[in-house]
């Protein structure tokens, strides 16, 4: 899965969807309602422009093009509103590492890919959950829209929970992983954020989870 953060224009008034939450998604400027399917199509169109040439194999679970040279984690690409200039950042989960990301081409680094749910290293076992692209709301700091592209990967512990539809157990595992990493209880809004994200994800699952390696 790749997280895309950028402005997505309202199909009615063309201003960024500032208060779109993926469920009651109404445009903050004109009130235009976006249903799930229209939102997915819109995101796909915006992403097609953004990803053109930048993510070979996007959506196929392939490695993203930039990886941090220091921690070997895939980096997140941010597109500035207006100028369209791009920059590379650690994912939220890797912010604790305490170093600045040093972007390198993915094929020059032995990438440590992660479980898209609990963030653990995938290692020998990797599962794939087929999923449509979807818009999931607004970044709390930048105010830009967030979209999730491509299939989601899962580790050998998260995969059976998804397969058996045990999403509350999965959420508890994700929360515990975050708390072990950070050494503090997860803030309520963080937990709510995961719950909302997984509800959206479940609406967009497009096939059964399968073992990829
Ligand atoms: Zn609008
Ligand atoms: Zn790093
Ligand atoms: Zn996992």
The 10s digit of each residue's pLDDT in 64-104 is 578 899 988 888 777 666 676 777 888 777 777 789 999 99
Judgement on whether residues 132 and 212 belong to the same structural domain of the protein: yes
Query: What is the distance in A from the centroid of ligand 3 to the CA of 120?
Result: 6
Judgement on whether residues 108 and 123 belong to the same structural domain of the protein: no
Give the pLDDT mean for 15-28: 67
Judgement on whether residues 93 and 142 belong to the same structural domain of the protein: no
Q: Which domain holds residue 82?
A: 63-112
> How far, in Å, CA of 104 to CA of 58, rounded?
18
Better-predicted residue by pLDDT, 26 or 23: 26
Residue 51 has what pLDDT? 52
Judgement on whether residues 145 and 83 belong to the same structural domain of the protein: no
Judgement on whether residues 80 and 143 belong to the same structural domain of the protein: no
Nearest to 173 by CA among 189, 153, 158, 190: 158
Confidence of residue 152 (pLDDT cuts 50, 70, 90): very high
Q: What angle do CA 188, 112, 60 make, to 5 degrees?
A: 85
Judgement on whether residues 71 and 130 belong to the same structural domain of the protein: no
> How far, in Å, CA of 156 to CA of 115, rounded?
9
Query: What is the distance in A from the centroid of ligand 3 to the CA of 48?
Result: 28
Query: What is the distance in A from the centroid of ligand 3 to the CA of 207?
Result: 18
User: Tokens 């050998």 — which residue?
Assistant: 156
Residue 121 has what pLDDT? 86
Query: What is the distance in A from the centroid of ligand 3 to the CA of 165?
Result: 14
The answer to whether residues 68 and 94 touch, using CB atoms and an 8 Å cutoff, is: yes
pTM of the model: 0.75
The answer to whether residues 198 and 20 touch, using CB atoms and an 8 Å cutoff, is: no
Question: Minimum-distance ligand to the CA of 25?
Answer: 1
Query: What is the distance in A from the centroid of ligand 2 to the CA of 190?
Result: 22
**Average predicted confidence (pLDDT) for the chain:** 80
Question: Minimum-distance ligand to the CA of 111?
Answer: 2
Judgement on whether residues 210 and 147 belong to the same structural domain of the protein: yes
Question: Minimum-distance ligand to the CA of 29?
Answer: 1
Judgement on whether residues 84 and 160 belong to the same structural domain of the protein: no
- 3 state SS of 109: coil
Question: Minimum-distance ligand to the CA of 93?
Answer: 2
Query: What is the distance in A from the centroid of ligand 2 to the CA of 67?
Result: 8
Count of structural domains, the chain: 3
> How far, in Å, CA of 101 to CA of 94, rounded?
10
Q: Which neighbouring-strand residues pair with 149?
A: 2
Judgement on whether residues 207 and 133 belong to the same structural domain of the protein: yes
The answer to whether residues 42 and 11 touch, using CB atoms and an 8 Å cutoff, is: yes
CA distances to 13, 35, 121 from 9, in Å: 8, 15, 35
**Does the pLDDT value for residue 62 go beyond 70?**
no
Judgement on whether residues 22 and 73 belong to the same structural domain of the protein: no
Query: What is the distance in A from the centroid of ligand 3 to the CA of 129?
Result: 12
Judgement on whether residues 94 and 165 belong to the same structural domain of the protein: no
Judgement on whether residues 147 and 175 belong to the same structural domain of the protein: yes
Question: Minimum-distance ligand to the CA of 26?
Answer: 1
Give the pLDDT mean for 168-181: 94
Domain end point (choices 23, 39, 59): 59
Query: What is the distance in A from the centroid of ligand 2 to the CA of 136?
Result: 25
Question: Minimum-distance ligand to the CA of 14?
Answer: 1
Query: What is the distance in A from the centroid of ligand 3 to the CA of 125?
Result: 10
Question: Minimum-distance ligand to the CA of 34?
Answer: 1
Query: What is the distance in A from the centroid of ligand 2 to the CA of 121?
Result: 14
């Amino acid at each position: 899965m790749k997280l895309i953060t950028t402005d997505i224009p309202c199909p009615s008034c063309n201003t960024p969807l500032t208060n779109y939450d993926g469920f009651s998604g109404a445009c903050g400027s004109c009130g235009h309602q976006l249903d799930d399917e229209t939102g997915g199509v819109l995101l796909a169109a915006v992403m097609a422009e953004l990803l053109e040439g930048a993510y070979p194999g996007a959506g196929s679970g392939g490695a993203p093009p930039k990886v941090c040279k220091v921690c070997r984690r895939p980096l997140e690409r941010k597109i500035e509103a207006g100028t369209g200039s791009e920059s590379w950042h650690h994912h939220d989960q890797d912010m604790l590492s305490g170093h600045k990301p040093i972007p390198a081409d993915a094929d020059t680094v032995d990438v440590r890919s992660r479980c898209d749910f609990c963030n653990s290293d995938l290692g020998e076992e990797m599962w794939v959950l087929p999923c449509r692209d979807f818009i999931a709301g607004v970044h709390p700091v930048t105010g830009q829209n967030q979209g999730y592209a491509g299939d989601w990967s899962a580790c050998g512990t998260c995969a059976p929970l998804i397969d058996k539809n045990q999403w509350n157990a999965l959420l508890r595992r994700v929360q515990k992983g975050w708390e072990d990493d950070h050494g503090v209880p997860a803030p309520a809004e963080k937990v709510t954020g995961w719950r909302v994200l997984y509800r959206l994800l479940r609406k967009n699952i497009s096939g059964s989870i399968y073992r990829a390696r």
